[in-house]
Amino acid sequence: MYEGFYGFRERAFRKTPDPRFLFLSEAYEEALEQLLFAVEEMELALLTGEVGAGKTLLTRALVDRVGERHEVGMVLNPRLSPRQFLAAVAAEIGVTSPKFHAVDLHAQVQDRLVELDEQGRGALLIVDEAHLIPERATFEEIRLLTNFQLDDRNLISVLLVGQPELRQRLRHKAYRALTQRIGAQFHLPALGAADVPRYLAHRVRVAGGPEGVFEADAAQRLHEASGGVPRVLNQLATQALIEGMARGRARVGAAEVDAVCENLDFLDPLPRRADVAAFPAARR
Ligand SMILES: Nc1ncnc2c1ncn2[C@@H]1O[C@H](COP(=O)(O)OP(=O)(O)OP(=O)(O)O)[C@@H](O)[C@H]1O
Ligand SMILES: [Mg+2]
């Protein structure tokens, strides 16, 4: 692609949430700290953010930091019935030969949590895309998980991760028994204008690219066009690098970014400018 032209070791703006590229904006650092604390305290925690804001990457960074003290289970696609959900949890936290029926699974999960506790370890369950959970009954399973206690200690910390509509949904009083147990919550904002040049420079550095490859006004335009949403930023930055290469320029300037944005309609699945402008951070 563009790596050879500019002298990158690898691509700087891939779509995958790779923790090597983690950029700690102030908000991101705060989120990470709060969630880490919640996990240590074995709390139920909630993390929301717009599509592409960096939620999944944040969970990876969290897992890297909790280390060996916790058995970590991840449910990445929670479009599951309550029983399927419980089976997924059992498999994730290391229950051997999980049974079929929910009652048995419950007992097995509890036994496993007690076993971990005896080893001086806790469990952390991360439920990504939690806004996709189809039934309230599945949330009820999550609530029941948080009931597993020994003396006055919780045996498992659960982190629910999802798009903002998850928060909307949980506000309904039918979820009160669950939401009253939430010990920490964070809404991940988009990157601000000052963060974007640092974000770009950071990813370029990790990918072994040349310092200053994005000129200051290019970074500013990228912020405006992306609303500071990292995934959109990554797509636009990649396109701008390609545009710069096509023009034979060693650095990417505002002109390249503008050219890319003008063609947005053809760059499926990039959002159109009007949609992007609706992100709150775009107006900062
Ligand atoms: N703080 C950050 N540092 C480095 N890269 C980031 C950061 N935040 C997001 N990204 C990058 O942005 C892209 C989207 O991140 P991620 O997949 O974590 O978003 P998401 O909020 O989980 O999106 P979705 O709502 O679609 O699940 C990834 O390529 C990720 O590496
Ligand atoms: Mg995600």
Note down the domain range covering 260. 3-10+191-277
CATH number at residue 42: 3.40.50.300
Structural domain includes residue 140: yes
User: For helices 230-246 and 254-262, what crossing angle results, to 10°?
Assistant: 110
Q: Which ligand is nearest to the CA of 23?
A: 1
Residue that is last in its domain, among 138, 162, 188:
188
38 and 81 in a common domain = yes
Residues with CB under 6 A from ligand 1: 15-18, 21-23, 28, 49, 51-57, 163, 230-231, 234
87 and 209 in a common domain = no
Q: Which residues surround ligand 2, an ion (CB under 5 A)?
A: 55-56
170 and 157 in a common domain = yes
pLDDT tens profile 202-218: 999 999 999 999 999 99
Residue that is last in its domain, among 173, 188, 203:
188
Distance, CA of 35 to chain centre = 12
pLDDT of residue 281 exceeding 50, the answer is: no
112 and 46 in a common domain = yes
Residues forming beta bridges with residue 186, ordered by sequence position: 47
Q: Ligand 1: which of 33, 57, 60, 203 to mutate, most ligand atoms within 8 Å of CB?
A: 57
User: For helices 26-40 and 55-66, what crossing angle results, to 10°?
Assistant: 50
Structural domain includes residue 16: no
Structural domain includes residue 112: yes
Count structural domains, the chain: 2
Residue that is last in its domain, among 188, 221, 249:
188
202 and 90 in a common domain = no
pLDDT score at 271: 46
**Token reading at 111:** 């036994």
Interacting residues of 172 by C-beta distance below 8 A, sequence separation 6+:
none
CATH number at residue 246: 1.10.8.60
- Ligand 1 atom closest to the Cα of residue 230 is 12
- Ligand 1 atom closest to the Cα of residue 25 is 1
Mean of all residue pLDDT scores within the chain: 91
Structural domain includes residue 31: yes
195 and 179 in a common domain = no
68 and 130 in a common domain = yes
pLDDT tens profile 116-169: 999 999 999 999 999 999 999 999 999 999 998 888 889 999 999 999 999 999
Nearest CA owner, ligand 1 atom 1: 23
